[in-house]
């Protein structure tokens, strides 16, 4: 059996069975999703993290490329109770270390009790616990990556749906899932996928009906140019955002964000709409949240479990954001209408800004 070790902050080392060789370091997080492992593994929001699957069997319906959310696996390493051969071979082919035959219940409990933590991974024929501990020490010495957007964003602008007759959307790619683009294309939008550091002039050249900030990994404070774009366009152009996009919009309008203890990652997060009283089940993957929305935004939806903001609406501007993933993939289809509401903002004149008294 191939040796495999996970070293956690505090010095605890867990032994498992190696399924894909290599060493890795990163932030250890978990997802409660019981399906959608292909979508999760290719979600750019997991960049620089080590992903633990709490569901015991991962890979029981194979690996199909049409389910991928991007062109590669993003977690630095993968932990599971049991991985099938299909998934193990996929991880090995992309150089992503993986191990199973460990008690993922214990790992999840450690994260819930102590918060998301740094870890070191070592998998291979001759590795030792000390190899994993060395990776952990190297991880502790790393500052949070402020240029993470470069790892997950497109290098150059890409246009989808040029022949469509609907709204023109400037999608700022901070790590966008492919299903966000698909959801907009299905509604006849033309989607310009732009690098995360696009300039105001580059967006102005598109003359979009809607500025849309995507999901993505890490701290929203690191996406300074996306924040600047919201500041520049919010008075004249409707603005939408998903996940990290909601946090970016809040920061651009005077709000604040905060790191959560262990975040929301799964496909069964309950969200309450404050106006209708309706509760929907949602797909989520984030470690930061909006702490204060600021004076230009109001909270329209909250998480039933911890009351964190799940939806923000503009008070005097056309703004619509969601902390969860309305496109699901994987997950429930309760919130697909978000995209209809976003595109509807582009069909009406922008809200007038009230004049000062």
Strand order in the sheet with 168-173: 158-160, 190-195, 168-173, 210-213, 239-242, 319-322, 309-314, 297-303, 256-273, 279-292
Please state the length of the chain. Answer: 357
Is 27 one of the catalytic residues? no
Asked if residues 168 and 209 have their Cβ atoms less than 8 Å apart, the reply is: yes
Cα dihedral: 212, 216, 220, 225 (round 10): -50
Among candidate residues 74, 286, 296, 325, the one labeled active-site is 325
What does each of the 357 residues of the chain score in pLDDT, given as a tens digit? 799 999 999 889 999 999 999 999 999 999 999 999 999 999 999 999 999 999 999 999 999 999 999 999 999 999 999 999 999 999 999 999 999 999 999 999 999 998 989 999 999 999 999 999 999 999 876 656 668 999 999 999 999 999 999 999 999 999 999 999 999 999 999 999 999 999 999 999 999 999 999 999 999 999 999 999 999 999 999 999 999 999 999 999 999 999 999 999 999 999 999 999 999 999 999 999 999 999 999 999 999 999 999 999 999 999 999 999 999 888 888 899 999 999 999 986 655 455 454
Asked if residues 166 and 187 have their Cβ atoms less than 8 Å apart, the reply is: yes
Please give the structure tokens belonging to residue 96.
């992503």
Is 327 one of the catalytic residues? yes
User: What are the structural domains, with CATH classification, of the chain?
Assistant: 3-140 (3.50.30.20), 149-345 (3.40.50.880)
Q: What is the pTM of this model?
A: 0.95
pLDDT at 1: 78
Is 15 one of the catalytic residues? no
Among candidate residues 47, 243, 264, 296, the one labeled active-site is 243
pLDDT at 141: 65
Helix (H, G, I), strand (E, B) or coil at 304: coil
The residue written with tokens 């799940």 in the block is 310
The span from the CA of 280 to the CA of 292, in Å, is: 23
The span from the CA of 59 to the CA of 174, in Å, is: 28
- For the annotated binding site for L-glutamine, the residues are 45, 216, 218, 244, 247, 285, 287-288
């Amino acid at each position: 059996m191939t040796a495999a070790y996970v070293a956690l902050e505090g010095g605890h080392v867990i032994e498992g069975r190696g399924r894909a060789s290599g060493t890795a370091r990163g932030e250890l997080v978990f997802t409660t999703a019981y399906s959608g492992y292909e979508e999760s593994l290719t979600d750019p929001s997991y960049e620089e993290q080590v992903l633990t699957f709490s569901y015991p069997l991962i890979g029981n319906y194979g690996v199909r490329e049409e389910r991928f959310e991007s062109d590669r696996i993003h977690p630095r390493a993968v932990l599971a109770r049991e991985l099938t051969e299909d998934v193990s071979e996929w991880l090995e082919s992309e150089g992503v270390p993986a191990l199973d035959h460990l008690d993922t219940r214990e790992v999840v409990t450690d994260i819930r009790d102590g918060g998301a933590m740094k870890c070191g991974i070592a998998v291979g024929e001759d590795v030792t616990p000390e190899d994993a501990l060395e990776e952990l020490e190297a991880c502790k010495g790393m500052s949070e990556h402020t240029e993470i957007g470069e790892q997950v964003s497109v290098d150059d602008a890409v246009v989808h749906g040029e022949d469509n007759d609907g709204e023109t959307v400037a999608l700022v790619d901070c790590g966008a899932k492919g299903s966000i683009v698909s959801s907009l294309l299905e509604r006849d939008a033309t989607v310009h996928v732009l690098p995360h550091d696009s300039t105001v002039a580059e967006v102005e050249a598109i003359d979009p009906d809607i500025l849309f900030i995507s999901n993505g990994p890490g701290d929203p404070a690191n996406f300074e140019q996306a924040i600047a774009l919201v500041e520049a366009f919010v008075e004249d152009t409707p603005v939408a955002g998903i996940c990290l996009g909601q946090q970016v919009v809040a920061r651009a309008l005077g709000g604040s964000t905060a790191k959560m203890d262990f975040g929301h990652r799964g496909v069964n997060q309950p969200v309450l709409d404050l106006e209708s009283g309706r509760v929907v089940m949602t797909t989520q993957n984030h470690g930061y949240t909006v702490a204060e929305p600021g004076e230009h935004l109001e909270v329209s939806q909250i998480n039933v479990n911890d009351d964190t903001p799940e939806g923000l609406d503009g008070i005097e501007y056309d703004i619509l954001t969601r902390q969860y993933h309305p496109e699901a993939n994987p997950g429930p289809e309760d919130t697909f209408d978000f995209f209809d509401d976003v595109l509807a903002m582009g069909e009406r004149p922008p809200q007038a800004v009230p004049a000062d008294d």
